[in-house]
């Protein structure tokens, strides 16, 4: 018998395999939608008679339906930006790179900039330059052959896509505009200006910082993303995220004011097709400034936040530690943040402790990265928790990597939420665990989180934006070069991973009662998959996409015929 609310439905999806992610992981055949909510779910026999006059009925033809994915470390705004600059994807030699740039110069006037994406293939731009036929990056002299009168700049990778270093390349015209010559000194030890045997810069910059700084210092003359480009990029980003079944995001790493402005523009135009929960990325110079800000307008994003079902702002991202040089260098062009979309800050342990306490006093949720400083952050949070209980406030720990049993108990007892990025930590950067099974077993230890009662979910970190690559990593836990399974005892089942990415993700926005599973009364956010998540070969999971995506019962993506 169908679980149902009273009344008829205006949309029916039937003849499917519906993974409800309810308390019992029920699998049903059909779902009825009235307005923006699920009216009923059950068998075809129970649901089809609920169709009202003129109702839309969609034959799923046996396809799998899941709740919409909620990506809780999405950097959604970033994906569309990648199409603004010409790509060098698929190019395997300096010769082919030069040919591509030569074509880009067609019709350009002398002095016009040519700026491209990095060398290598997205999303990770790995294995460069050894994968190029010449075994090296191009330099200014290579680029000068095709562009003597135009500044050319090949962007370096945004190092969170892969691992440092980030290598960017400028030709002679670009170096002249930037004022860089043989006497120019690097702004920091993390930046190298490569020079030839005569002491002249070759145009190759190597940046080993976690967040590259070259474009904010030496090459700050390179054209920047405009507000208009960011708005258009956000539209494209939402389209792409919808195409892989993502209907919600939580930006726990924070967003800068320039990105808030872009989301507001999309919201004003009623163009939101992803439910976005944004966290504020502040730029405080002192504890006093932080206190004034929280007292003045912190109430507008306290608790679960302020906004509606499509756009909500809640909480702060507060960095523990960080790199002082990087923070200062990247702040020189604020409000511009480049690829980041968030403000990179440096907070001493004392500054962090004081601002975190201020946030608790103002009922403002705190989000912070803990890939390395988990123990220190937990100490600070526990000191606050002693005076201002944190349970129920859903403070979040992002990029969680290694954890001990005692740390998990502390996390659970304070009601903290854990975000992991298994594709990055296991597949992309899993090399340190290959010969250390004990260490691998404690890395993004999802099975142990379940056993200890720790609430967690996944983020893609936009590398790639397809959540099924991340879901696959949590299920398979394989390293990319050797295909070795890392910490096999921590592998999740497919349903467990799906629950973490849907209902678990909704918890980050205090929304598990309204979305994240397919149950009567909840918002009809769902995706019809291109394959059977439960039965397909494991190695094919990462290639899954959505054939049909609904947000509140409204189709926001369709590539299949129903």
Give the CATH number for residue 456. Answer: 3.20.20.140
Rounded to whole angstroms, the Cα distance separating 401 from 373 reads: 10
Q: Per residue in 47-87, pLDDT tens? A: 999 998 999 999 999 999 999 999 999 999 999 999 999 99
Answer whether residue 434 is part of any domain: yes
Mapping DSSP to helix (H, G, I), strand (E, B) and coil, where does residue 142 land? helix
Q: Residue 138 burial (CB < 10 Å; 0-12/13-18/19+)?
A: buried
Q: What is the pLDDT of residue 560?
A: 82
Out of 181, 216, 251, a domain closes at 216
Q: Which of 216, 242, 259 is the last residue of a domain?
A: 216
Together in a domain, 510 and 543: yes
pLDDT in tens, 415-467: 999 999 999 999 999 999 999 999 999 999 999 999 999 999 999 999 999 99
pLDDT average, residue stretch 313-335: 95
Work out whether strand 69-71 and strand 246-255 pair parallel, antiparallel, or are unpaired. parallel
Lowest mean pLDDT among 159-163, 470-474, 526-530: 159-163
Lowest-confidence pick of 6-20, 38-52, 361-375: 6-20
Residues, the chain: 562
Last residue of a domain, one of 191, 216, 241: 216
The verdict on 252 and 193 lying in the same domain is no
Separation CA 4–CA 48 (nearest Å): 12
pLDDT value at residue 3: 52
Residues 365 and 481 occupy one common structural domain:
yes
Residue 1 confidence class, pLDDT cut points 50, 70, 90: very low
Whether residues 171 and 237 fall in one domain: no
* 172/248 same-domain check: no
Question: 202 with 257, same domain?
Answer: no
| Token pair belonging to 556 | 């926001």
In this structure, are 292 and 212 located in the same domain? no
Average pLDDT over residues 389-412: 97
* Euclidean distance between CA atoms 430 and 237, whole angstroms: 28
Rounded CA-CA distance 538/19 in Å is 18
Q: How many domains does the chain have?
A: 2
Beta-carbon-side half-sphere exposure of residue 179 (alpha carbons within 13 Å): 6
Cβ partners under 8 Å of residue 219, min gap 6: 153, 168, 170, 174, 178, 205
Give the range of the structural domain holding residue 481, as residue numbers without chain letter: 227-555
Helix (H, G, I), strand (E, B) or coil at 160: helix
Mean pLDDT to the nearest integer, 298-305: 91
The verdict on pTM exceeding 0.85 is yes
pLDDT for position 523: 98
Total Cβ atoms within 10 A of residue 448: 18
What is the rounded distance in angstroms from the CA atom of residue 364 to the CA atom of residue 388? 12
Residue 279 lies in a domain: yes
Q: Which two tokens stand for residue 145?
A: 């052959």
What are the pLDDT digits (tens) for 471-507? 999 999 999 999 999 999 999 999 999 999 999 999 9
DSSP 8-class letter at 390: -
Q: Is the pLDDT of residue 190 over 90?
A: yes
- 124-161 pLDDT, tens digit per residue, is 899 999 999 999 999 999 999 999 999 999 999 999 89
pLDDT (0 to 100) of residue 4: 52
Mean pLDDT, rounded, of the chain: 96
């Amino acid at each position: 018998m169908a679980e149902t609310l009273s009344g008829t439905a205006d949309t029916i999806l039937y003849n499917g395999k519906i993974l409800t992610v309810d308390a019992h992981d029920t699998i049903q055949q059909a779902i009825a939608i009235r307005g923006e909510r699920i009216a009923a779910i059950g068998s075809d026999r129970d649901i089809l008679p609920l169709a009202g006059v003129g109702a839309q009925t969609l034959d799923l033809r046996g396809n799998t339906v899941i709740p919409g994915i909620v990506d809780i470390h999405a950097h959604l705004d970033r994906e569309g930006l990648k199409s603004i600059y010409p790509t060098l994807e698929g190019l395997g030699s300096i010769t082919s790179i030069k040919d591509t740039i030569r074509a880009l110069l067609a019709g350009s006037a002398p002095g016009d900039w040519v700026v491209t994406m990095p060398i290598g293939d997205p999303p990770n731009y790995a294995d460069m330059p050894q994968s190029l036929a010449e075994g090296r990056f191009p330099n200014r002299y290579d680029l000068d052959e095709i562009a003597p009168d135009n500044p050319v700049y090949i962007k370096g990778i945004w190092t969170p896509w892969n691992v440092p270093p980030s290598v960017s390349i400028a030709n002679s015209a670009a170096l002249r505009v930037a004022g860089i010559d043989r006497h120019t000194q690097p702004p920091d030890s993390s930046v190298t200006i490569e020079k030839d045997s005569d002491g002249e810069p070759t145009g190759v910059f190597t940046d080993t910082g976690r967040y590259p700084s070259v474009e904010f210092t030496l090459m700050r003359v390179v054209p920047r993303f405009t507000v208009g480009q960011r708005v258009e990029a956000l539209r494209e980003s939402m389209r792409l995220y919808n195409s892989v079944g993502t209907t919600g995001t939580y930006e726990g790493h924070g967003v800068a004011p320039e990105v808030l402005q872009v989301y507001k523009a999309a919201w004003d135009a009623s163009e939101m097709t992803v439910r976005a929960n944004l966290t504020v990325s502040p730029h405080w110079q002192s504890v006093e400034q932080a206190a004034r800000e929280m007292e003045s307008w912190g109430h507008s994003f306290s608790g679960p936040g302020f906004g509606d079902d499509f756009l909500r702002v809640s909480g702060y991202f507060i960095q523990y530690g960080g790199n002082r040089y990087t923070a200062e260098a990247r702040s020189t062009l604020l409000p511009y943040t480049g690829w980041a979309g968030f403000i990179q800050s440096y907070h001493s342990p004392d500054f962090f402790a004081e601002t975190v306490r201020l946030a608790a006093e103002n009922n403002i949720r705190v989000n912070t990265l803990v890939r390395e400083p988990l123990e220190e952050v937990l100490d600070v949070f526990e000191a606050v928790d002693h005076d201002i209980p944190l349970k129920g406030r859903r403070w979040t720990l992002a990029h969680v990597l290694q954890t001990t049993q005692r740390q998990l108990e502390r996390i659970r007892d304070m009601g903290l939420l854990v975000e992991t990025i298994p594709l990055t930590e296991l597949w992309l950067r899993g090399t340190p665990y290959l010969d250390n099974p004990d260490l691998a077993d404690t890395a993004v230890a999802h099975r142990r989180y379940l056993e200890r009662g720790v609430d967690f979910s996944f983020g893609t970190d936009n590398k790639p934006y397809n959540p099924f690559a991340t879901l696959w990593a949590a299920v398979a836990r394989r390293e990319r070069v050797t295909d070795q399974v890392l910490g096999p005892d921590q592998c999740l089942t497919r349903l467990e991973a799906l629950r973490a990415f849907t209902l678990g993700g909704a918890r980050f926005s205090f929304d598990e009662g309204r979305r994240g599973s397919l149950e009567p009364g909840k918002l009809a956010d769902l995706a019809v998959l291109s394959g059977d998540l439960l039965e397909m070969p494991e190695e094919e999971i990462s290639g899954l996409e959505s054939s049909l995506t609904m947000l509140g019962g409204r189709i926001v993506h369709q590539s299949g015929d129903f």
